[in-house]
Amino acid sequence: MALSVQGRLGRHFAILLALSWVVGCQSSERPERMVTIYVSTDRVFSEPVLREYEKRTGVRVNAVYDTEETKSTGLANRLLAEQARPLADVFWSNEPVRTLVLKARGVLAPYRSPSAEGIPPALVDPEGYWTGFSARIRVIAYNTTLVKPEDAPHSVFDLADPKWQGQVAMADPRFGSTSFHVAALYAMAGDEKMDDFFRRLKANGVRIVDGNSVVRDLVARGEVKVGLTDTDDVNVAIEDGQPVAMVLPDATGLGVPVMPNMASLVANGPRPEEGRSLIDYLLSSDVERQLAHSDAVQIPLHAGVPGPKNIPAIDSFEPMTLDFTRAAGRVEDVTGRLAGILGL
């Protein structure tokens, strides 16, 4: 009897092990041609691009997508942790900071893609570690039922005006595209001016929320009148019929903050050739066209590719002239400053 009890236990354990093995081995049944990409660009926008690549080339794309910055610690940490033995071949980032951190830590390898021809030189790394494509803009979103277009703020600095007391929202400036934006502002305008601005913004009752999509929703619901967010977030609300519009801030002055996507080859990735081919595709005009005409409304960087509706072309406004490396180098210091000033 004791044997039968132990036999049953053993059988159950064997079944469990077998199930684990079957599930564990699912991912080892892979076709010969494949490439692995880690993607921080929103999945709803990036997945169709990668599926199209699979369709065109027959190469299977194993993608790992990222969450919004405040929901998990993100793929950059995974790339850093896997550095000694990477699984990824390509990293597709939706903003510059992560890429520049990874470059500085030796996670990336240089690759100059022929598809980069025609992209403005300021958006291509001279050393070849990253290439920009399809840009987003940091914008001021406003509720169209509560704010007339002519009354909307036209500079980030307007948000500290007492006129907007308790009516401004922004995402936590320590994360994501907002961290890039504030680091860029500090790099461009200087510490003294920016510290003062954020103190006044704090005194103005700014609402620090946990993501750009939350800023959009607060503005759309009219809980605040204006907020700092990204073009793609605002566009989702517009397409959803919400009463939201956007202003490109600082078109005169510091310049409009433009954030390109960045494609990079991962150093010592398992399939560098396939990785390079995928990067060539990501930097192509076809992908820029696809991203421009999707809800991502990203601005093409190749000349001649039609831009998204309702978003001005890249050559129709004055972009912020920014050294991305310098801005990324400010992130740690700015993060500490803002935690103190804004009481985060």
Partner 1 sequence: MNPSSRAVVVTLAVVVFALCSLAPVAYLLAVALADLDPAGLWLDARQRQLLWNTGLLGVGTATLATVIGAPLGVALAHVTLPLRSFLRLALAMPLLLPPYVVALVWTYLCGGRGVIASLAGRDVLSGWTYSLPAAILVLSLVYYPLSMLVTEVALRRIDGRLEEAAVVSAPPLLVLRRITLPLAAPGVLAAALVIFVLSVSEFGVPGLLRVRVYTTEVFTAFAALYDSSRAMLLAVPLLLVCLIVAFVAVALAGERLVSTRRGHGTRPVLLEGWRVPAAVAAILAVGLSLGVPLTVLVREALSVGSLSAVVEGSGRAISNSLVLAAIGATAVVAVALWLGYARARSSGCLGRLADVLFVVAFAVPSTIVGVGLIGIWNRPGLVGTVYGTDVMLILGYLARFVPVAALAIAAVTRYVPVSQEEAAAVGGAGWLRTMTRIVVPQIRLGLLTAWIIAFVLAFGELGVSILVAPPGEATLPIRIYTIIANTPPSHVAVLALLQTAVVLSPLAVLALALPLRASAGARRVSTAAGAREAR
Residue (of 279, 26, 24) closest to 131 by Cα position: 279
80 binds partner 1 (CB under 8 A): yes
Of the candidate residues 49, 76, 160, 256, the single one contacting partner 1 (CB under 8 A): 76
Residue (of 82, 37, 105) closest to 261 by Cα position: 37
The encoded tokens of residue 303 equal 């000349």
CA–CA separation, 27 and 34 (whole Å):
12
Decide if 41 contacts 67 (C-beta within 8 A).
Answer: no
232 binds partner 1 (CB under 8 A): yes
Q: Please provide the distance, in angstroms rounded to a whole number, between the alpha carbons at the two ends of the chain.
A: 63
Of the candidate residues 11, 33, 105, 193, the single one contacting partner 1 (CB under 8 A): 105
125 binds partner 1 (CB under 8 A): no
189 binds partner 1 (CB under 8 A): no
57 binds partner 1 (CB under 8 A): no
Applying CB under 8 A, the span of 114-122, 254-262, 311-319, 331-339 interacting with partner 1 comes to 331-339
Hey, which residues between 253 and 272 contact partner 1 (CB under 8 A)? none
Give the DSSP H/E element, type plus range, for residue 37.
Answer: strand 34-39
- For residues 119 and 327, which CB has a smaller minimum distance to partner 1 in the complex? 327
42 binds partner 1 (CB under 8 A): yes
The encoded tokens of residue 73 equal 């610690």
195 binds partner 1 (CB under 8 A): no
The encoded tokens of residue 213 equal 């999509």
The encoded tokens of residue 178 equal 């907002």
Nearest-approach distance from CB 194 to partner 1, in angstroms: 17
Of the candidate residues 55, 81, 148, 150, the single one contacting partner 1 (CB under 8 A): 81
88 binds partner 1 (CB under 8 A): yes
Hey, which residues between 196 and 225 contact partner 1 (CB under 8 A)? 207-211, 213-214, 217, 221-223
Nearest-approach distance from CB 275 to partner 1, in angstroms: 13
- For residues 9 and 313, which CB has a smaller minimum distance to partner 1 in the complex? 9
The encoded tokens of residue 32 equal 């010969």
β-pair partners for 245? 142
CA–CA separation, 225 and 331 (whole Å):
28
- For residues 232 and 288, which CB has a smaller minimum distance to partner 1 in the complex? 232
- For residues 117 and 239, which CB has a smaller minimum distance to partner 1 in the complex? 239
Per-residue HEC secondary structure of 212-260 comes to HHHHHHHHHHCCCCEEEEEHHHHHHHHHCCCCEEEECCCCCCCCECEEE
Of the candidate residues 84, 121, 149, 192, the single one contacting partner 1 (CB under 8 A): 84
Nearest-approach distance from CB 24 to partner 1, in angstroms: 4
179 binds partner 1 (CB under 8 A): yes
The encoded tokens of residue 333 equal 């210091």
304 binds partner 1 (CB under 8 A): no
Question: Which x/- pattern, by CB under 8 A, does the window 311-330 give for partner 1?
Answer: --------------------
Q: For residues 103, 256, 301 and 143, what is the CA-based torsion angle, rounded to 10 degrees?
A: 110
333 binds partner 1 (CB under 8 A): no
128 binds partner 1 (CB under 8 A): no
CA–CA separation, 308 and 232 (whole Å):
11
Q: Apex CA 67: angle with CA 63 and CA 172, to 5°?
A: 150
Decide if 41 contacts 93 (C-beta within 8 A).
Answer: yes
Applying CB under 8 A, the span of 20-28, 114-122, 247-255, 306-314 interacting with partner 1 comes to 20-28
10 binds partner 1 (CB under 8 A): no
Decide if 162 contacts 205 (C-beta within 8 A).
Answer: no
Of the candidate residues 19, 203, 303, 313, the single one contacting partner 1 (CB under 8 A): 19
Question: Which x/- pattern, by CB under 8 A, does the window 234-253 give for partner 1?
Answer: --xx--x-------------
